[in-house]
Every structure is written in C-alpha cells, then in structure tokens.
Amino acid sequence: MKLNHLQDTAKTEALYRHSSEQLCDALRKIDLLIQRRTLMFRQAAPEPLRTDLTHVYISHEEVNHLLRPTAAANATHPEIERIAKAIEALQKEIQNKAVQSLQQGIFLALPNLAHIFSLSPFECEILLICLAPELDRKYDKLYAYLQDDITRKKPSVDLALDLLCASEAERWEARSSFSPQAPLFRTGLLQVVEDMQSPSGSSDLARFLKLDPRILNYLLGANQVDAGLTDVSKLILPQANPGSVFIDPALHKSLLELMRLHFLDQSKDRKKLVFHFYGPEGVGKKELAAVLCGLLGIPLLILDAPLLLKDPQEMEDHLRQAFREGLLQQAAIFLEGIDALPQTNETHCFKYLAQAMRQYGWLCFLSGEKAWAQQANLFQDMLFQSHHLPVPAAPLRKAAWIYYLRPLDVENAQVWTEALSGQFRLSPGQIRDAVQFAQCQKALSGSKITCADLFTACRSQSNQKLQDMARKISKRARWEDIVLPESQLAQLKEICTQVKHRSQVFGEWGFDQKLSYGKGLSVLFSGPPGTGKTLAAEVIAHALGLDCYQIDLSGLVSKYIGETEKNLAKVFQEAETSNAILFFDEADALFGKRTEVSDAHDRYANIETSYLLQKMEEYEGIVILATNLRDNMDEAFTRRIRFIVEFPFPEAAQRLAIWKQHFPKEAPVDEDIDYDFLSKKVQVAGGNIKNIVLNAAFLAAENRQPIGMDHLIQGTKREYEKIGKLWDDNRLAPMKEKG
C-alpha cells in the first residue's frame, strides 16, 4: 500500500509493531486536542457563569461573553500554545512511525482504512474523535463537559470542529467533510444522529456523530464480515486449484489470461472488472470465480442476491454495505441468483448494482441462469464480460466424476465414470452432490459404494419436476420378459449400444463436430395395441439404468399458439440432466401427416412438429415415439427417425412364450394348463394375454383354487367382450371338457 503523504517525513528509528500501538498514540493526540479545547472553553466561558440554571435560562453575563469581540475570545494562552506544539510533534511522530511500519509490511488499520476510502488526514481525525468514547468511557464525560451538557456524551459536528480547527475560517472550510456526499458519510463509516433531546430540532452543528460498528471492529483489528451481512454471505479464501473447474478449457485459459493481464496493470485508470456467468445450476460458476480469485490470492465474498436485496426500500443501502465489505476484506464480490432480482424500472436494482460497483467495487462476479439483454449496458464504463457456462460435454463430465470419486478409491473407476458421464447429463455440482448422496446412503451399512448406488444417486439429482409433467414407467422388466422376433430384439439391443457408446463416438472420436444433424437418438415403435411397445421401453430403461417417462401428448398439445412448444421445451429441459428416456405415447396425435397449410392453425401445427424434431435432435437421451398407426405418420418425419421398430401381432409361438411367462413363480397354477392350446386358439396380443391371466387369477382366488383352465377360459371370455371380439363357446370347448 502506498501512502505518499506519509512517506515524505519518514524516519527509520521507530515503528508500530501492531495497529493498536498506533491507536494508542492517536488517542494521546485526542487527549491533547481535548486539553487545548478545554483551556479555550474555559477562557470563553469562565466558571462563575456556569451554574445549574444555564439549562433553564440564559444569563446577561453569558450573553455578554458570547458577544465579546472575536479577538478577545481568541486571545492565546501560553499553555494553549505549548499544547499546540506538543500536538504537532506527536502528529509527526505518528506519521513517521506509520510510514516505517508500512514499509515493513505491518498492517495498520487506520492508514489502511484511509487508503481504501480515500480519507484525508482531517477525516481520519474525525474518525478518531468518534472512536475514543468506544474505547474509554472517560471521553463520555469529557465530551459532555466540552459540549456544556451532561446528556451530550457523543461527539457532535460542532465538537469535532472545535477540537480540530484553530480558527473560524478553518471551521467553515472543514464543514464540507460532514456533508452526506463526503467520504465518511457516503461510505457509512460514520453516521449522523439527530439530537433527540432538542425540542426544536437540532442544527447541523448540533448533530451527533456515530462510528459504524463494523468500522469500529475493523479499527480494533477484528475483520469479521459485517454483522448485517452474516446471514446472506460467506467469505472464502479460494485456492488456485484449476483441477476443480470443469468448463471449456479454451474459455478457462482465456479468462485466466484476462485476469492476469488486467491486474498486471496497476494504473489508476484501470477499469473495474465485472464478470457475468450464466448457465444451469451446478455448472461451476462459483468454482470458476474461486479459481480466478485463487490466482490473485484474494478472498471471495459470496452473497445471496435475492436474500440480500429482498427489501426494495433498502436495496441501495444493502448493496453499498456488501460492496463496502468487499473493500474491507479486499475481496472480490460474487452475487449469486442474480436472475431473481426484480428488473422493473421502479426498483432500479441493476442501476444500484452498477452504482455500488462504480463506488466501491473492483472485481465482481454476477451469477445467474439466463443470458442478459439490456442489463449489460449499465456496466459500459467497466470491463464487462458475459460468459455462458453450459452443462459440460461428456469428457468433462467424466473428468468431474474422476475428481469427485478419487477420494473414495472405487474399483473400476474407469468403467464407472465412462458409464455415468455417458448416461447422465449432470453438471459438476450435481455430480458432487450425487457422490455425497451415495456416500450418505451407504454410511449406515458401512459397505462400499457400487456403480448401481451412483446411478440411483444420479437419478435423485434430476427429474424432480418431470414427475409433474409425465408418468414414470417402472423398470422392472428384463430382456427375458419380452417376447419378440429376433430382428426386433436385435434392434432394441442396438439402441442400448448406441447410448452406451455415445460419449465415445460423439465425444472422443469427434463425430459431434463432423455431423450437424442426426445425432439425436430418436426411435419409433409402431405396432398394434398391446404388442409390447411400452414394455420394450421399460426393458431398455432397465438395461441402461435410466429413468423412463411416459408423456401424454394430448395433455401437452395446447390449442394456444406457442404453448405446445413451451410445454415440450419444459419436458426436454427437465429430462436433460438424466438423459431420461422420453416415451411419447400415441405420437400420431402430433406427428401425423403434416397438413398442407390451409389455415393459421395448420401452420402452427407444423411449427410444433418441426420444433419437436429439433428438440429430439438436440436431446442426448433416447426419445421414443409410439404409435398404433404407422401409416398415419408423416413420411418426411419418419425419415428423420434413427430406429423404427415394428412390433408385430404375435405369432402362435410367441404367444406361447408370452402365456408362459405371465404366471409369477409364487402363484398356484394347475399342472394341466395347456399353453399350447391357448396360444393357438386365443389369438390376442400380449396385452390381452396379460389381462386374461390376471382375470383368471382373481377368479381362482375367489374360488380358493389354483389358477386353472376354467378360470383362464372365463377370463378370456371377459377380455373378448371387453375388446369387442366375437366369442365362440365352441372354440374352447375341447379345453372346457378337459378342464
């Protein structure tokens, strides 16, 4: 720190080893100022005039004294001159010692405060006058005495001027230091308090001065964060650990370089630096700011913007308080949750922010989720940088997994991290939370974390809101539960393979850069009702350890223009973090043959379809569209689909397998059930078989019997009636006889 005004008179012999030593000397000086003022005071109003009655009436003698010619009132007393000399000598001593200390790198609170807020030596004296009664109660009495009123224990503007100014002219000149715009008051270091005792209101001179408690602590060497900010802030001293930031390496490098060059410039006109980082929660906005501060070796004061600024009336004051704290801590400011702040003209929130930055800021980070349009204009006179931090691509996600799993010493870290980063589109913050979640879950059992635990933890980090918009499909079904022709099964397995190796092919092998479209994994399942389309989605979800959400398109498609897109955008955004499988049932409702544009609504329907195609294209997970009416699907649309899987009506052989596997192991089943017969004679899809078996099971339970042919025939009859299929009693007659 440079204190040029002190350096001129530097001497080498003595210095302050501690800030408090300087304060002791400063108080000695205050004592001398008081002594001088006491003599002058007595000279101005000798004892006989001072009676207990001065509060009640003003005597003739007192008025005569007050009206004495100025020259007579100011007649110097030899003792006054002696004290004045002592003050001068002490002042020099204090200056010299302070300079020596500062050259040795010893921290002195008062000069430091003066430097931070550009206080003049006169303003420092005012601060000390206000500090004195906070340190020693004798000053209460002395100030009351000098102010000629036992109740006036705090220093007033008048008293400060009396103590520090030798002449009336000096007093008038010094009045500017007490204006609201002067550094002491603008910064809130001192506050003015009205004289509550004065029935007629107090003049400017009579107002009291009060030292801000935060500044009192600062001067006494306790540099804790302002008590008014403790609930909304956190002060951290970051380490320069670039390994904990998972953002685009090119951006990372350029920001580090920008910081380095910016702060190399020590000139006075160096611009203030404001960063605006925006992106989803947990992408590392704070971490990045911490690393940049770590580079400079400075602390970071993190503030919760919505909490700090919740009261619109106090917004300006609280911002000032926060930025002032940043100066006192020599810390950069990090304001998080900036999007939640009101942006209306009335609240002027961002204007206040720019203003606080202009007055007290030097390095500030603003963090939110949305890009800024006009707000950036407010920071035109500063170096303003806005950067988007998206959820990182798979290789960076993998690096984050490795980083957070390292302390756990897991086996197969390579395989796990590959799978986790490929399948979950989590931000680094969510990855950290997922690891912590898994650790907590395992804490009780004491067993080691498995890959499955981490998958569960990942799912817990995402899709919270998706539950409101879609139905989560259970994922109990395995490959052995689905009966399909070989080629269809092979197609389903290929889909899984593509998800597993997505990050390798698109990321590491660079296909991402090569292809401009066709990267989404869109799948169409077409086939009659009950042929296993939903079941297949369930099997895939289980095989990949992903969640699967069934979306009812009829609920999503809105008659209001633009609403459908909004609804779709919400679904995709929510699903994104976990790469959940999105299963759009009865997709033909939206993706049916695109109409020739004949009216405005048709045009919008086509826009909705194109929008969905685009979203499917961008989505990193699987999007499955299911339809019973493949022929209704728009050709141009189906061409954009990566996999089309036809679910055929099951042949007798497949029906046989489906019948067999629909009886749980625990269920009591008659040995004489003729599956062969059932599969040949009951020509229905898997969905109906499931219903028949269930119907039969209830009938059997009611009759307290094992499930037998009779129940199955009865169940079949019910199902036929339900689906409107012709029931012929004779068709199953041989079986009835048998049963």
Of 163 and 484, nearer to ligand ATP (C-beta) is: 484
DSSP string, 243-284: GG--S-HHHHHHHHHHHHHHHH---TTPPPEEEEEE-STTSS
The count of residues interacting with ligand ATP (CB under 6 A) is 17
Nearest 5°: CA angle at 121, between 87 and 123?
A: 110
From the list 335, 337, 321, 340, the residue with the least C-alpha distance to 379 is 335
| Contact residue for ligand ATP among 429, 530, 621, 708 (CB under 6 A) | 530
Strand, coil or helix: 222: coil
Shortest Å distance, C-beta 393 to ligand ATP: 34
Using CB under 6 A, which residues numbered 600 to 639 contact ligand ATP? 628
CA distance 291 to 44: 63
Of 368 and 530, nearer to ligand ATP (C-beta) is: 530
Q: Does 715 bind ligand ATP (CB under 6 A)?
A: no
Using CB under 6 A, which residues numbered 688 to 707 contact ligand ATP? 690
Using CB under 6 A, which residues numbered 489 to 528 contact ligand ATP? 527
Of 45 and 657, nearer to ligand ATP (C-beta) is: 657
Residues 36-57 as b or e (16 or more Cβ within 10 Å = b): bbebbbeeebeeeeeeeeeeee
| Contact residue for ligand ATP among 294, 299, 392, 686 (CB under 6 A) | 686
Q: Where are the beta strands (DSSP E) in 358-505?
A: 363-368, 383-388, 471-473
Shortest Å distance, C-beta 473 to ligand ATP: 10
Shortest Å distance, C-beta 616 to ligand ATP: 20
Strand, coil or helix: 119: coil
Of 462 and 534, nearer to ligand ATP (C-beta) is: 534
Of 160 and 535, nearer to ligand ATP (C-beta) is: 535
Long-range CB contacts (within 8 A, 24+) of 16-21: 16/97, 16/98, 16/100, 16/101, 16/106, 16/108, 17/101, 17/106, 18/106, 19/106, 19/107, 19/108, 19/109, 19/110, 19/219, 19/221, 20/220, 20/221
| Contact residue for ligand ATP among 293, 333, 482, 616 (CB under 6 A) | 482
Of 280 and 687, nearer to ligand ATP (C-beta) is: 687
DSSP string, 610-637: HHHHHHHHH-SSEEEEEES-GGGB-HHH
Report the residue number whose CB is nearest to ligand ATP.
686
Q: Can you list the alpha helix ranges (DSSP code H) found in 121-269? A: 121-135, 138-146, 157-164, 168-174, 183-186, 213-219, 249-264
Using CB under 6 A, which residues numbered 541 to 570 contact ligand ATP? none
> Which residues are within 8 A (CB) of 71 and not within 5 positions of it... i.e. 6 or more apart?
none
Q: Does 95 bind ligand ATP (CB under 6 A)?
A: no
CA 139 to each of CA 145, 212, 542: distance values in angstroms, whole numbers, following the listed order: 9, 18, 78
Of 419 and 537, nearer to ligand ATP (C-beta) is: 537
Of 333 and 482, nearer to ligand ATP (C-beta) is: 482
Shortest Å distance, C-beta 534 to ligand ATP: 3
**Interface region with ligand ATP, contact rule CB under 6 A, candidates 272-280, 479-487, 561-569, 614-622:** 479-487
Shortest Å distance, C-beta 375 to ligand ATP: 48
| Contact residue for ligand ATP among 687, 692, 715, 735 (CB under 6 A) | 687
**Which tokens belong to 418?**
């590959």
**Interface region with ligand ATP, contact rule CB under 6 A, candidates 119-127, 355-363, 463-471, 682-690:** 682-690
Shortest Å distance, C-beta 689 to ligand ATP: 6
Of 112 and 550, nearer to ligand ATP (C-beta) is: 550
Shortest Å distance, C-beta 366 to ligand ATP: 48
Q: Does 658 bind ligand ATP (CB under 6 A)?
A: yes
DSSP string, 556-593: H--SSTTHHHHHHHHHHHHHHTTTPEEEEETTHHHHBP
Of 427 and 534, nearer to ligand ATP (C-beta) is: 534
Cβ(19)–Cβ(114) below 8 Å? no
Give the H or E element holding residue 526.
strand 521-526
Q: Does 484 bind ligand ATP (CB under 6 A)?
A: yes
**Interface region with ligand ATP, contact rule CB under 6 A, candidates 139-147, 394-402, 477-485, 545-553:** 477-485
Shortest Å distance, C-beta 523 to ligand ATP: 13
CA 384 to each of CA 274, 286, 351, 387: distance values in angstroms, whole numbers, following the listed order: 5, 17, 15, 10
Q: Does 577 bind ligand ATP (CB under 6 A)?
A: no
| Contact residue for ligand ATP among 46, 221, 249, 529 (CB under 6 A) | 529
Residues that bind ligand ATP (CB under 6 A): 482-484, 527, 529-535, 628, 647, 658, 686-687, 690
